[in-house]
């Protein structure tokens, strides 16, 4: 496994921690929505915080794998980041409009939700494959992202609990990338403390 650039330990730590923390927060917001069976202000606020962070940490994960991740990684990262700018805006709408649940939000945005969902899945597949090919982060995290995107695609019409579990696989993938990045930086800079 190649190592991310040595001159960016602070940035790498921020990106790694953000990928772990906001992926976990996103899954928590999904679990709250599943438990309630509808949207709530708290749940939407958590969703907003996590979705707003996704473009930043995905682009950060891309940057930390350059140049190994290549053009496909850039396309995947940009596509994924863009779709979550859109999805974050739908959360703002849901908060302002007091939208009841996901079905009501889908009815409001119609084909735009479908188009951006397809774009997200294609971008996620591309990014996952680019991560595997780059060998800069743990290979399993790229594989898990591909599995998560595939599961999200094939479970769209299944019960909420199954869709939530599928999204959880995606969240584990990004958290795994963050953890792998932190481990890589620790291996490069194990201890800078002067012990003399």
> What digits encode the pLDDT tens for the residues 149-193?
999 999 988 999 999 999 999 999 999 999 999 998 755 445 544
**Residue 195 pLDDT exceeds 90:** no
**Residue 3 pLDDT exceeds 80:** no
Q: What value does the mean pLDDT of the chain take?
A: 91
Task: Output the pLDDT for position 8.
Answer: 66
The three-state DSSP-derived secondary structure of the chain is CCCCCCCCHHHHHHHHHHHHHHHHHHHHHHHHHHHHCCCCHHHHHHHHHHHHHHHHHHHHHHHHCCCCCHHHHHHHHHHHHHHHHHHHHHHHHHHHHCCCCHHHHHHHHCHHHHHHHHHHHHHHHHHHHHHHHHCCCCHHHHHHHHHHHHHHHHCCCCCHHHHHHHHHHHHHHHHHHHHHHHHHHHHHCCCCCCCC
Task: Output the pLDDT for position 49.
Answer: 97
pLDDT band at 9 (very low <50, low <70, confident <90, very high): confident
> What digits encode the pLDDT tens for the residues 86-124?
999 999 999 999 999 999 999 999 999 999 999 999 999
């Amino acid at each position: 496994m190649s190592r991310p650039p040595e001159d960016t330990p602070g940035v790498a730590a921020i990106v790694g921690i953000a990928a772990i923390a906001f992926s976990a927060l996103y899954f928590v917001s999904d679990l709250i929505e599943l438990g309630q069976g509808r949207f709530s202000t708290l749940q939407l606020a958590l969703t907003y915080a996590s979705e707003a962070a996704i473009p930043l940490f995905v682009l950060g994960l891309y940057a930390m794998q350059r140049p190994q991740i290549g053009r496909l990684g850039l396309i995947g990262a940009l596509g994924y980041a863009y779709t979550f700018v859109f999805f974050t805006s739908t959360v703002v709408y849901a908060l302002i409009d007091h939208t009841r649940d996901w079905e009501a939000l889908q009815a409001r945005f119609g084909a735009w939700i479908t188009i951006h969902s397809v774009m997200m899945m294609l971008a996620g597949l591309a990014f996952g494959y680019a991560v595997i090919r780059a060998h800069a982060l743990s290979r399993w995290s790229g594989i898990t992202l591909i599995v998560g995107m595939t599961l999200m695609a094939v479970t769209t019409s299944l019960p909420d609990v199954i869709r939530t579990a599928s999204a959880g696989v995606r969240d584990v993938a990004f958290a795994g990338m963050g953890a792998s990045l932190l481990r890589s930086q620790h291996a490069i800079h194990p201890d800078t403390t002067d012990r003399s």
